[in-house]
Structure 1
Amino acid sequence: FFSPFFFFSFFSPIFFSFFFSFFPPSQMHISIHAISRPLSAARPSVRLACLPFSTPLVCASSSSAAFAGRSLAPKPLSLRPTKLSLSLCRSIDASASSSSSEPVLPSSSDSLLPSSPSSPSSLPSSPPSSPPSSTPLSTPTPTPGYSREFILRRLVVFLSIVLGYSSYYLTRNSLTYTAPVMVADTSLSMDITQIGAMTSVFPIAYGMSKFISGVLGAKFSPTVLLSGGLLATAATNFTFACGGSLPWFVFFWALNGTLQGVGGPCCARILTSWFNGAERGTYWGMWNVAHNVGGFVAPLVAGGCSKQFGWKWGMWAPAAIASVVGLAVAVMCKDRPEDVGFPPVEPVDVALSSQARSAKGSKAEKANTKSGNAESDILGQLVKNVLKNPFIWGLALTYFFIYIVRQGVTSWFVFYLMKQKGASDAGQAAMRVSGLELGGLVGSLAAGRLSDFLIKKADGKGGNVGKRIVVVMLYTVGVAAALLAFRALPASAVSLQWLTVFLIGFFLYGPQMLIGLCGAELVGPSSVGASEGFLGWVAYLGAANAGIPLSVVVKEHGWDAYFGTLIFACGMALLLLSPMTKLRSYVQREERRLRREA
Structure 2
Amino acid sequence: MLQDDGQSAWQLRVRELERRRWLVWVPVALAFLAAYFHRTATGVVADSLMRDFAIERAAELGVLSSIYFYTYAAMQLPAGILADFWGPRRTVTLALLMAAGGAVLFGASESMPALYAGRFLSSVGVGLLFVNLVKIYANWFRLREFGTMSGLTVLVGNAGSLLAATPLAFVVEALNWRAAFYLIAAYSLVMAAASWLIVRDRPADVGLPPVAAVEESEGVAASGSTMTGQYSVVACIRTVLGNRYTWPPFLAGTLVYSVFMTFLGVWGVPYFMQVYGMSRIEASNYMVAVVAGNMVGGPLIGFLSDRLGYRRWPYCGFVAMFLAVWLTLTVWNGGKPPVGALYPLVFMIGVGMSALTISVACAREVNPPHVAGIAAGFVNSGPFIGAALMQPIFGWVLDLHWQGAIENGVKVYPGSAWQSAFWLCAAVLAVGLALTLLIRETRCRARVD
**Alignment TM-score > 0.5, same fold:** yes
Question: Is the 8 Å Cα contact of residues 49 and 55 (structure 2) preserved in structure 1?
Answer: no
Residue 468 of structure 1 corresponds to 311
Match of 1:504 among 328, 342, 349: 349
Partner residue, 2:220:
none
Does the aligned pair in 1 maintain the 2:272–2:278 contact within 8 Å?
no
Correspondence list, 1:155-194, <5 A: 155-170=22-37, 190-193=53-56
- Checking the alignment, whether the CA contact within 8 Å between 1:209 and 1:260 is kept in structure 2 is no
Amino acid across the alignment from 1:539: P
Distance 1:278 1:373, change over 3 A: closer
Alpha carbons 1:414, 1:426 under 8 Å: kept: no
Please report how far the alpha carbon of residue 398 of structure 1 lies from its aligned counterpart in structure 2 after TM superposition: 1.1
Contact 1:174 1:315 in 2 (8 A): no
Alignment of 1:82-481 (within 5 A): 146-147=14-15, 149-170=16-37, 190-193=53-56, 196=61, 198-241=64-107, 244-298=110-164, 308=174, 312-347=178-213, 373-375=229-231, 377-384=232-239, 386-410=240-264, 411-413=266-268, 423-425=276-278, 427=280, 428-432=282-286, 434-455=288-309, 467-481=310-324
1:521 CA drift (Å)? 3.5
In structure 2, the CA distance between the partners of 1:441 and 1:276, relative to structure 1 (3 Å rule), is same
**Matches of 2:290 and 2:103, distance apart in 1:** 27
Specify which of 535, 538, 544 is matched with residue 388 of structure 2: 544
Task: Find the aligned partners of 1:311 and 1:578 in 2 and give their Cα distance.
Answer: 43
Q: Which amino acid aligns with 2:161?
A: G
Note if contact 1:222-1:266 (Cα within 8 Å) is conserved in structure 2: yes
User: In the aligned structure 2, how far is the partner of 1:418 from the partner of 1:320?
Assistant: 30
Q: Quote the offset at 1:526 in angstroms.
A: 4.5
The CA distance in 2 between the partners of 1:451 and 1:265, in whole Å, is 20
| Map 1:576-591 → 2, pairs under 5 A | 576-583=435-442, 588-590=446-448
Unaligned runs of 5+ in 1: 1-45, 56-102, 104-145, 352-370, 456-466, 594-598
Structure 1 residues 307 and 222: alpha-carbon distance in aligned structure 2, compared to 1, 3 A threshold = same
Q: CA-to-partner distance for each residue in 1:245-298, whole Å, 9 max, x for gaps?
A: 443333233222222211111111112222222222112101112332011124
Distance 1:374 1:425 in 2: 59
Tell me: CA distance 1:240–1:439, structure 2 relative to 1, closer, same or farther (3 Å).
Answer: closer
Decide whether aligned partners of structure 1 residues 297 and 414 sit closer, same or farther in structure 2, where only a CA change above 3 A counts: closer
Question: What is the identity percentage for the equivalent residue pairs of Structure 1 and Structure 2?
Answer: 22
Q: Secondary structure at the match of 1:54?
A: helix
SS in 2 for 1:546: helix
Mapped partners of 1:482, 1:182: distance in 2: 30
Specify which structure has the bigger relative contact order, considering alpha-carbon pairs within 8 angstroms and separated by 6 or more residues.
2
2:276 maps to a residue whose letter is A
Counterpart CA distance in 2 for 1:271 and 1:425 is: 42
For structure 2, the 5+ residue unaligned runs are 218-226, 402-415
Distance in 2 separating the partners of 1:560 and 1:175: 22
Q: 1:324 deviation in Å? A: 1.0
Distance in 1 between the 2:53 and 2:424 partners? Answer: 35
Residue 534 (1) aligns with residue 397 (2): no
**CA-CA distance at 1:231 after TM superposition:** 1.9
* Deviation of 1:413 (Å): 4.7
Which of the pair has more CA radius of gyration?
1
Q: Cα deviation per residue 1:132-171 (whole Å; 9 max; x = unaligned)?
A: xxxxxxxxxxxxxx51x22221121221222111133345
Letter aligned with residue 473 of structure 1:
C
Residue 358 of structure 1 is matched in structure 2 by: none
Aligned counterpart, 1:520: 364
Structure with the bigger percentage of helix: 2
- TM-score normalised by length of structure 2: 0.79
**Counterpart residue identity of residue 547, structure 1:** Q
User: Does the 8 Å contact 1:218/1:527 carry over to 2?
Assistant: no
Residues 365 and 447, structure 2, Cα contact 8 Å, conserved in 1? no
Q: Distance in 2 between matches of 1:238 and 1:170?
A: 14
Matches of 1:553 and 1:183 in 2, distance apart? 18
SS in 2 for 1:522: coil
Q: Could you tell me which residue of structure 1 aligns to residue 409 of structure 2?
A: none
Q: Write the distance in 2 (CA, Å) between the matches of 1:387 and 1:299.
A: 37
Letter in 1 for 2:11: S
Contact 2:97 2:125 in 1 (8 A): no
3-state secondary structure, aligned to 2:311: helix
Q: Is the 8 A contact 2:292 2:347 kept in 1?
A: yes
What is the aligned residue count? 414
- Contact 2:364/2:446 (8 A) holds in 1: no
- 1:515 to partner: Cα distance: 1.0
Q: What's 1:58 paired with?
A: none
Instruction: Report the TM-score when normalising by structure 1.
Output: 0.61
Tell me the amino acid that sits aligned with residue 340 of structure 1: V
Q: Shift in Å at residue 563 of structure 1? A: 4.8
CA RMSD for the aligned pairs? 3.6
Q: Which residue of 2 aligns with 1:14?
A: none
